[in-house]
Amino acid sequence: MDPIELIKEDHRRVEALFEEYGAYADDAYIQKAEVVETIIAELEAHTEMEETIAYPVFREAADSEDEKKVEEAYAEHDVAKNLMDELKSLDPQDPQFDAKVQVLKESIEHHVEEEETDLLPSAEENVSGEEMARIGEEMQAFKDARDDEALDAASEAEL
């Protein structure tokens, strides 16, 4: 499995969730809260996958300029994590809720653009095809395990 495509698939999924959020009326608090919960779950899994599997390999293979791109990606993840933590503590009816979602969306859009135009092409150049295939398999296993956990949790909730 191509790790670059896995990362981009996650990006498209989160972009669609932000679009879904934006389509709800201002007073659709329950629906908006559910979408934000899903956005946060997706982003938490995505950042963990990148930070534990992809970024260490990208950093190791990078020259000093490309290493700065990896460090910036880590920093952008930290910003998103802080915003997600703030959102978790807010009531969807709080006026700050929509504002924080918008800032998170803009932060993620910026991160995705930089990652897809700078970091990922650099990684494709710097990381061997064999290593890319290895981390792609590891990333797919991570995603599969996460999906299995979600199914298990859903099954337990039904009981």
Whether residue 122 is predicted with pLDDT greater than 70 in this model: the reply is yes
Whether residue 157 is predicted with pLDDT greater than 70 in this model: the reply is no
Total-model pTM = 0.92
Mean pLDDT calculated for residue range 68-80: 96
Kindly report, residue by residue over 28-56, the tens digit of the pLDDT.
999 999 999 999 999 999 999 999 999 99
Whether residue 17 is predicted with pLDDT greater than 80 in this model: the reply is yes
Side chain identity at 70, as an amino acid letter? V
Mean pLDDT calculated for residue range 79-84: 97
**pLDDT band for position 58 (cuts 50, 70, 90):** very high
